[in-house]
């Protein structure tokens, strides 16, 4: 760890699906506590990139190091992360047969073997933090999308991750539920969490991001602080993308 | 048709009830035990693991249960390795042959049910489990199987009734379960209509009881949804 100051370090990442190159020499270094917003057109490789970082997707080439763990090319050692790399999905992916509290408590109990009372206390505190403690005994199907996504965030946080990755966490939500999830993420960002967030919520990007990075066709095209990125984009592809999302 | 024979047939057929229940229960249990490994292997990534299992399931589902029972009952004694094994005293018993045949048969069908159920679990849940650090074993036992078994519960209730009906074939290898008892009584009274009607009604009652049981389990294990508010 000492000779690597980055919390997330991606070097020369390449990923093929068959003969299609979906990630092309991606380099991304994220410092501890840094917040990155990743944007770009659909199919540009954003999901693939953070799925590679989270260890869900094997890659063809390149180095990935997260929270001091070198991830092997085929992700065989994803177990080394032991939940230290939290991930929040577009589709929530809660466990439908478990209630909210059980969803949050399960992994720390099984993976870390932590004491039940300790985990329960931490889980309830996290559910408070995402404003859903009063639904601790509800089942996912009984919750709205926004509530489910906040539970999913609490579930990831209960593993006390060093890094949180978000893949379009508000894209599957009804518009009126987007803000409640973003508010939770903003609070998390303020607490100093290292985050990579794939989103097109530009308000969120301006509030939270240290850097906004634009991807297209598997490449990182450009990146910068929110102000420079949104107000003075350099690349034509970036300009076109920004024009499109601001008109929608 | 004689009402008197009807009444005397009841206790005679009921003498086979215990064996019918025993075969049904043991064969169903055996089937459930072999079904899970079969279903998991049938979904294995390696073709070397998948192929033998699929062939086995194909043969069992593609041939009559009675033929399978005869193969086990008459055929196993011909194999020296089996006849000389410590299991021979157990496998020699017609009752055990029947349980084995019906159980293995049910196992193949149940494996297909489980395989369908396994396919229904969204991959996203398993990915969530993986990034949470959970092992494949924990994902299987804590996430996948509790949902799969819930989902296949209704068809498993059908399966146990099929097993009960299959248990009647045991009479073909001298086991005096209900059908066997009925046949023996018919050869004495020459009143097949009354005797087999009694047997049929008792099978029906057992079937009803089993499906009620499974419906009860279904209700007890149902996942609360928005339609059924928790208190
Ligand atoms: N499992 C897969 N098999 C083949 N191609 C895939 C698969 N997943 C994604 N792709 C392709 O990879 C490219 C990048 O996809 P993705 O990372 O999902 O983009 P984004 O998240 O930016 O919309 C797309 O062209 C997509 O079609
Ligand atoms: Mg995506």
Measured from the Cα of A23, ligand 1's closest atom is: 14
Residue A191, number of CB atoms within 10 A of its CB: 10
The sign of the CA dihedral A37, A40, A41, A45 is negative
Shortest Cα distance from B149 to chain A (angstroms)? 11
How far apart are the C-alpha atoms of A211 and A197, rounded to whole Å? 11
Q: Which stretches of B122-144 are DSSP H helices? A: 123-131, 136-138
Give the distance from residue A228's alpha carbon to the nearest chain B alpha carbon, in angstroms: 34
Q: pLDDT band at B80, cuts 50/70/90?
A: confident
Residue B230 pLDDT exceeds 80? no
Q: What is the ipTM of this complex?
A: 0.94
- In A72-101, the residues whose Cβ lies within 8 Å of chain B are 78-79, 81-87, 89, 91, 93-97
Most B CBs within 10 Å, among A57, A85, A106, to test the B interface: A106
Minimum CA–CA partner of A159 in chain B: B132
Considering only alpha carbons, which residue of chain A is nearest residue B223? A97
3-state secondary structure of A221: strand
**Is a pLDDT exceeding 50 seen at residue B66?**
yes
Q: What is the mean pLDDT of residues A97-110?
A: 97
CB-based contact, B150 to chain A, within 8 Å: yes
Which pair of tokens denotes residue B194? 């009354």
Q: Give me the residue from B124, B133, B138 closest to A89, CB to CB.
A: B124
How many other C-beta atoms can be found within 10 angstroms of the C-beta atom of residue B12?
19
Phi, psi of A27 (to 5 degrees): -120, 130
Q: Is B141 on the interface with A (CB under 8 A)?
A: no
Q: Does B62 touch chain A (CB under 8 A)?
A: no
Using a CB–CB cutoff of 8 Å, tell me whether B119 touches chain A. Answer: no
Overall average pLDDT of the A173-191 stretch? 97
Q: What is the whole-number distance in angstroms between the Cα of residue A219 and the centre of ligand 2? A: 14
C-alpha distance from A168 to closest chain B C-alpha (Å): 14
**Would you call B130 and A155 a contact, using CB atoms and an 8 Å cutoff?**
no
Torsion sign over Cα A52, A55, A61, A66: positive
Domains of chain B: 3-223 (1.10.3720.10)
What is the strand order of the sheet A194-198 is part of? A85-88, A163-167, A194-198, A35-39, A211-216, A219-224
| CA dihedral over A185, B134, A70, A74, signed as positive or negative | negative
User: At B172, is the pLDDT very low, low, confident or very high (cuts 50, 70, 90)?
Assistant: very high
- Spell out where A194-236 has E strands: 194-198, 211-216, 219-224
CB B195 within 8 A of CB B5: yes
The DSSP output letter for A31 is E
pTM confidence score? 0.92
Mean pLDDT of A49-73: 95
Q: Number of residue pairs across A and B with CB atoms under 8 Å?
A: 85
| pLDDT score at B45 | 92
| Under 8 Å between Cβ of A154 and A132 | yes
Residue B226 pLDDT > 80, yes or no?
no
Is the pLDDT reported for residue A214 higher than 80? yes
Instruction: Report CA(A45)–ligand 1 centroid distance (Å).
Output: 6
């Amino acid at each position: 760890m000492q000779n690597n100051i980055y919390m997330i370090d991606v070097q020369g990442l390449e990923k093929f699906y068959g003969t299609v190159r979906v990630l092309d020499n991606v380099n991304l270094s994220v410092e501890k506590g840094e917040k990155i917003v990743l944007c770009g057109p659909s199919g540009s490789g954003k999901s693939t990139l953070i799925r590679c970082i989270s260890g869900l997707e094997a890659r063809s080439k390149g180095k990935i190091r997260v929270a001091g763990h070198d991830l092997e090319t085929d992700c065989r050692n994803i177990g080394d992360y032991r939940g230290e790399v939290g991930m929040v999905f577009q589709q929530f992916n809660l466990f439908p047969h478990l209630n909210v509290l059980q969803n949050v408590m399960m992994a720390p109990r099984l993976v870390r073997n932590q004491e039940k009372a300790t985990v329960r206390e931490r889980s309830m505190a996290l559910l408070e933090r995402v404003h859903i403690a009063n639904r601790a005994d509800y089942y996912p199907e009984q919750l709205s999308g926004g509530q489910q996504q906040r539970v999913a965030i609490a579930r990831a946080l209960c593993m006390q991750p060093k890094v949180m990755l978000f893949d379009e966490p508000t894209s599957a939500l009804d518009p009126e539920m987007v803000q409640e999830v973003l508010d939770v993420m903003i609070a998390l960002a303020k607490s100093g969490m290292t985050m990579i967030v794939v989103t097109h919520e530009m308000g969120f990007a301006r509030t939270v991001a240290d850097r906004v990075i634009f991807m297209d066709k598997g490449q990182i095209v450009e990146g910068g602080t929110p102000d420079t990125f949104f107000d003075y984009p350099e690349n034509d592809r970036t300009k076109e993308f920004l024009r499109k999302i601001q008109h929608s | 048709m004689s009402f008197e024979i009807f009444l005397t047939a009841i206790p005679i057929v009921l003498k086979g009830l215990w064996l019918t229940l025993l075969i049904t229960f043991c064969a169903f249990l055996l089937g459930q035990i072999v079904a899970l490994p079969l279903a998991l292997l049938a979904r294995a990534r390696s073709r070397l693991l998948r192929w033998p299992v699929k062939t086995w399931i194909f043969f069992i589902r593609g041939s009559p249960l009675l033929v399978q029972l005869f193969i086990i009952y008459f055929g196993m004694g011909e194999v020296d390795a089996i006849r000389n094994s410590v299991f021979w005293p157990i496998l020699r018993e017609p009752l055990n042959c029947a349980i084995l045949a019906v159980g293995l048969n049910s196992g193949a069908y149940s494996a297909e049910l489980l395989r369908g159920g396994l396919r229904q679990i969204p991959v996203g849940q398993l990915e969530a489990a993986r990034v949470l650090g959970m092992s494949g074993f924990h994902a299987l036992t804590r996430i996948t199987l509790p949902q799969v078994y819930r989902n296949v519960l209704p068809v498993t209730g059908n399966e146990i009734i099929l097993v009960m009906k299959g248990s009647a074939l045991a009479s073909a290898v001298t086991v005096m379960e209900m059908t066997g008892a009925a046949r023996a009584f018919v050869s004495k009274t020459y009143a097949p209509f009354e005797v087999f009607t009694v047997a049929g009604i008792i099978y029906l009652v057992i079937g009803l009881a089993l499906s009620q049981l499974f419906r009860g389990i279904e209700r007890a294990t149902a996942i609360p949804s928005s339609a059924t508010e928790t208190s």
